[in-house]
Amino acid sequence: MMKTDQAIKAFSQSEKLKSALIWATQLTQVHLSLAESDKAGAEKIIKTLVSMIGNEITVAQKAAPHADWLEAEKNVNTAMVMLNSGVAHDSSFHLTQALSKVTNIGQQSMTQLIDEGLL
C-alpha cells in the first residue's frame, strides 16, 4: 500500500500517462496508412512522444514508487527499439502493454484514495 501522498501522485501521473500512451498507440496505427513520403516525419513525431512518455514514467517512479512503473518503462523502451528499427507498427503492442501497467497503477491508487475517503 502506498502512502496517501504517493497514491495521489500515482493517480495523477497514471491519468496523464494513459492519455499519452493512447495517443502514441493511435499514431502508430495512423502511421500504417500514410504515404511512404510522410512516414519518416510521422516516425520522428512518434519517437519524440514515446521518449517523453519514458521520461514521465521515470518521474512517476520517483514520485510514487511502484513495480509496475518499471514494467511500463521496459515496455516503452521496447517500443522505442521497434521504432528505431523501422517497424513502428510493432511498437503498438508494447505501448499497449505499458498502458495496461499504468492503468493498473491508476486503479490501485484510485481504490486506495476512495478507501481513504479522498475520492
Number of residues written out for the chain: 119
The residue segments making up the domain with residue 100 are 4-115
The share of the chain scoring above pLDDT 90, in percent, equals 93
Q: How far is CA 64 from the centre of its chain?
A: 15
In tens, the pLDDT along 50-106 reads: 999 999 999 999 999 999 999 999 999 999 999 999 888 899 999 999 999 999 999
Q: How many domains does the chain have?
A: 1
pLDDT the model gives residue 89: 84
The closest alpha carbon to 49, from 102, 103, 89, 95, belongs to: 95
Average pLDDT, whole number, for the chain?
Answer: 95
Cα–Cα distance, 89 to 28 (Å, whole number): 6
* Percentage with pLDDT > 70 across the chain: 100
Q: Reduce the DSSP state of residue 4 to 3 states and report it.
A: helix
CATH number at residue 29: 1.20.120.660
